[in-house]
A and B are shown apart, each in its own frame.
Chain A
Amino acid sequence: MTKTISEILTDLEAGRTTAVQLVEAALERLDAVQEEYHVALSTARDRALQRARSIDEDRAAGKQLGRLAGVPFIAKDNFLTFGTTTTAAAKILENFTAPYQATAVERLEAEGAIMIAKANLDAFAHGSSTENSYFGPTKNAVDSTRVPGGSSGGSATAVALDIVPFALGSDTGGSIRQPASLSGVIGIKPTYGLVSRYGVIAMASSTDTIGAFAHTADDIALVMDVMAGKDDRDSTTLPEPSHALMTSMGKPAGSLKIGIVKEYITDAVQPEVREAVLRRAEQLRALGHTVEEISIPSVDLALAIYYIVVPAEISSNLSRYDGIKYGLSVEQAKSLDEVYGLSRDQGFMAENKRRILIGAYVLSSGYYDAYYRKAQTARTILIGEFNKAFADYDILLGPVSPTTAFKLGENTDDPLKMYLADIMTVAVSLAGLPAISVPSGVDGQGLPIGVQLIGKQKSDGQLLAVTKQLEEAA
């Protein structure tokens, strides 16, 4: 297993390694697995090595260094970054070079972290298996005949295969938690607004969040603490000092009230996944917490709400890809309308088109009230039930995914079947809550199982504190 971030920093301080050595070793590990697993879409080798040399020189000169100085990482390829292309795994952005960087990446770089490569994803983050990538799927780190989950599948696999100690992802409806669960690493989807989305390719603006994958709660906390906080370039970022949200991590969790969401542990869930949740519940009791079953009936409607609201927002956000300003522009188009129509037809994947069209439909005159407004009203009911639960409980517990990793190709012929992979993650997104996928054993085939901890808004630090307790109890 690769070292934790703090172990790497200790090695760097003691002179046992250098940033250049760390970057070269990470790139070698990536090269060694790339053909089998298809983790990355491109590397930023030259820029990464240049930054590493500069950090090593600063260290040798005794200069003050950042909190992540010399630590390599990988970003999902929907983060705008320097050093290589930013494609969103879509043909329409195949040759796109970002003119600026995402705030999250800028903040990590300001603390000396070094991005070495861009991870594969479902095109525009539309998917639950990374099979919707224009460049081909990523494979599961434990079993390369299976999916890694998605849409942040490349990031999850990068950490699971120990290429880098942490990787960045985005989570709109489960795109960090579900691949973390299927790949056996920790993944956090923070409170909506905790981390700036500036420079991350927009999918659904009312649920898009930025988070991370790592092997330990401490590593996640450090990375999130660096990325979090108000950003003038994303007006949805929370005004609170992010530090205040993350430092509760350091405090003892005390005795908490934890609710197992009854609707999430039905017979529809793979038995081993259900057992993993109940095992975690026992461990939490042994740690002095109270654990009881509770009901949040509307979570059963969450997927229906999600697949109205999110496509609506997608249809709006993806209207900017027009073949004019950047990206693919079909040469043979004769009129402006053909530039739009042909570039979008050829540049988007089938799943992108499905979501754009669903979105246009539910927003169109005559259907707006029956679909879009109805869903947003149902969302109010769902949020109300979460608020009621959090009046009595500190944390909610359930699976992340109803099953462990499925086979490549198993769900690709049926879009609705693929959507069902997100049935236990979308409710959290619609309510803007933080949630973590905690690795919790394996099934009979050795495939990883993740258990989901869900907190009230702005309780990210507390969730990480409990994740750490479970890590130590495991």
Chain B
Amino acid sequence: MTDSDSTTISIKDVHYIAGLSKIAVTDEEAAKLQAELDAILGYVRQLDSLDTAGIEPTYQVSGLSNVDRDDVIIDYGVSQEALLQNAPRTQDDQIKVPKVL
């Protein structure tokens, strides 16, 4: 990965994160994405100058914590059949995928 000041993200980085994200990008797409993502990352890097020493991050804003419920099965009336109807490939009430091994 690059440490250059002028470019935040390289084409190699784009391919790497596309791989992590399971998106098959072509070389042509990667080149376009590199320029776009670099501009966006360049913009958000204005936070670099903000002094955040000693400040804790905020991940959620509802003020709620540890929302739990009784450990019981609740029937929301959604059938297996209805759920499987959207699956691209099924067999014997199961979702089918290409051979893995």
Instruction: Report B62-101 CB contacts with A as 1/0, cut-off 8 Å.
Output: 1110010100001011110011011111000001011010
Residues of B within 8 A of A305 (CB): 44, 47
Q: How far is the CA of A344 from the CA of B21 in the complex (A)?
A: 9
Instruction: Report A361-388 CB contacts with B as 1/0, cut-off 8 Å.
Output: 1001010001101111111110100000
* Closest CB pairs A-B (n = 8): A341-B24, A376-B57, A432-B61, A329-B88, A326-B86, A99-B82, A235-B67, A340-B22
Residues of B within 8 A of A337 (CB): 22
**Contact assessment for A336 and B47 in the assembled complex, using a CB-CB cutoff below 8 Å:** no
Residues of A within 8 A of B43 (CB): 303-304, 307, 416, 419
Instruction: Report A297-312 CB contacts with B as 1/0, cut-off 8 Å.
Output: 0000101110110000
**Contact assessment for B24 and A377 in the assembled complex, using a CB-CB cutoff below 8 Å:** no
**Other-chain contact of A338, B24, B37, B89 (Cβ < 8 Å):** B24
On B, residues with C-beta under 8 Å from A are 1, 9, 13-14, 17-18, 20-25, 33, 36-37, 39-41, 43-48, 50, 52, 55-64, 67, 69, 74, 76-79, 82-83, 85-89, 95, 97-98, 100
**Other-chain contact of B62, A238, A301, A303, A415 (Cβ < 8 Å):** A238
Total residue contacts A-B, CB cutoff 8 A: 168
**Contact assessment for B88 and A334 in the assembled complex, using a CB-CB cutoff below 8 Å:** no
**Other-chain contact of B95, A301, A325, A333, A348 (Cβ < 8 Å):** A325
**Other-chain contact of A236, B24, B37, B40, B62 (Cβ < 8 Å):** B62
- Nearest residue (CB) in B for A347 is B23
- Nearest residue (CB) in B for A307 is B44
Residues of A within 8 A of B13 (CB): 361
**Contact assessment for B47 and A374 in the assembled complex, using a CB-CB cutoff below 8 Å:** yes
Dominant SS at the B interface? loop
Q: How far is the CA of A323 from the CA of B22 in the complex (A)?
A: 11
Chain B proximity of A296: nearest CB distance (Å): 14
**Chain A interface extent, by class:** 35 or more
Q: List 11 A-B contacts (CB under 8 A).
A: A206-B61, A301-B50, A304-B46, A304-B47, A325-B87, A341-B22, A357-B14, A360-B20, A375-B44, A376-B58, A381-B52
